[in-house]
Amino acid sequence: MFRKDGKKSMPGITSGSLSDIVFMLLFFFMVTTQMRDNEQKVVVRVPSASESVKLERKDLSSYINIGTPTRNLQAQYGTEPRIQLNDSFKTVDDIRDFIAAERESKSEQDRAFMTVCIKADRDVRMGIITDVKQELRRCSALKIMYSASKAE
Amino acid sequence: MAKKTPEINSSSTADIAFLLLCYFLMTTTMGSHTGLSRRLPPMPDPNQKAQDQKVNRRNIIIVKINSQDRLMAGTEAIDVSQLKERTKIFLTNPTDDPNLPDKEIKNIEGLGNRPVSKGVISLQNDRGTSYQAYIAVQNELVKAVNELRDEAAMREFGRKFAALDEDRQGIIKELVPQLISEAEPKDVGKRRR
């Protein structure tokens, strides 16, 4: 009985579930790409500039966020503009270590092209940015970029 | 079970899903950063004596922004909207004014001898200047240089700067250098953070 049934037709592999698998992949990528971004602890509304150009090598850039803490963190950290490196609030003195760590993570031949992207809120005063710039000069991380949105 | 209902061919849903997947993959990485690129001057060596960079008075324009975001170029107070024209006149010096920058005849590879302006823009800001104003000024300066580069590219190659290949862009960059110096911070005026 069994052998007779089996011989009659080979069961084909259904490809209907293939789409489900791909959808799962799709959702995975959608979720992870959003999660990979650092949690923003400061409010950054970048200024607009008509002449802004694209960052050439995104993998070679590190970010310094400057702005007022987000509303839910204001009770703890106040409303003065703060510097955010990676995931936490830092001071100007921590930039040296941050730059050293960022340099370390890049490959040898790419280190000269490392760009530090300063993402500062438009209402931030230049004092804090000047401090950051001076510190960057001291660390000889000279390639910088002022983050700005493209506006016509 | 004698009659089978015709199945909808579902093999193409995978392809549709793949397309979506590719779309999301592309868009999430393409949200790239834009901004104004700058190169900071290296920190002066403390052991080294500060060398006098003798830049002729006429070759330098000092753009100052104070804590009220007011602007001064050279000796007169101007508005941000005037800065671009002012910078362009400064960098081109069309009338060979003795108060505006000198031109140096430089031999540029592929072009021959061309006059290159020696003008340097020095940007000074106060600690109380707002970042928005600072970027607006930087933007105007870059715009002035970009427009001059476009003009030079039109003159030399008959095409806009962006349409040139990399070598020719390099030539134009040599012809119209972007010399914007961000001066050492000076505490002018009242401190306001």
Provide the number of CB pairs (under 8 Å) joining chain A to chain B: 155
> Candidates 3.40.50.261, 3.30.420.270, 3.40.710.10, 3.90.1150.10; correct CATH number of A42-150?
3.30.420.270
Virtual CA dihedral for B193, A51, B148, B88, nearest 10 degrees?
Answer: -30
Q: Is the dihedral of CA A73, A75, A76, A81 positive or negative?
A: positive
pLDDT of residue B190: 47
When pLDDT is averaged across residues B76-93 and rounded to a whole number, the result is 84
pLDDT at B193: 41
CB contact under 8 A, A49 and B136: yes
Q: Which of A86, A63, A38, A74 is nearest to A132 (CA)?
A: A63
Residue of B nearest to A35 (CA): B28
Kindly list the residues from chain A whose CB atom is less than 8 angstroms away from the CB atom of residue B21.
Answer: 22, 25-26, 29
Is the Cβ pair A29, B28 closer than 8 Å?
yes
Residues 6+ apart with CB under 8 A from A9: none
Predicted TM-score (pTM) of this structure: 0.73
- Tens of pLDDT along A42-101? 888 888 888 888 777 777 888 888 888 888 888 888 888 888 887 788 888 888 888 888
Residues of chain B with Cβ-Cβ distance to A35 below 8 Å are none
H helix runs in A37-125, sequence order:
74-77, 95-105
The larger pLDDT score, comparing residue A152 to residue B154, is at B154
Closest CA to A128 of B185, B80, B122, B140: B185
Res B191: pLDDT:
45
Q: Is the pLDDT of residue B51 over 70?
A: no
Q: What part of A 74-103 touches B (C-beta under 8 Å)?
A: 80-81
- Residue B10: list chain A partners with CB under 8 A: 15-16, 19
Sheet holding B60-65, edge to edge: B76-78, B71-73, B60-65, B120-125, B180-182
A142 Cβ under 8 Å from any chain B Cβ = yes
Which residue is listed with tokens 């024209």? B85
Instruction: Kindly state the percentage of chain B with pLDDT values over 90.
Output: 0
CA distance A76 to chain B (A): 20
- pLDDT tens-digit map of B101-127: 777 777 777 777 778 888 888 888 888
**pLDDT tier, B192 (very low <50, low <70, confident <90, very high otherwise):** very low
Across B172-183, average pLDDT? 81
Average pLDDT over residues A106-130: 84
Domain ranges in chain A? 42-150
ipTM value: 0.71
Cβ contacts of B192 on chain A, cutoff 8 Å: 125
pLDDT at B189 over 60: no
CB contact (8 A) between residue A125 and residue B127: yes
Listed by start position, the domains of chain B span 57-182
- Give the model confidence (pLDDT) of A121-141 as tens digits: 888 888 888 888 888 888 888
- The model's confidence at residue B49, banded by pLDDT at 50, 70 and 90, is low
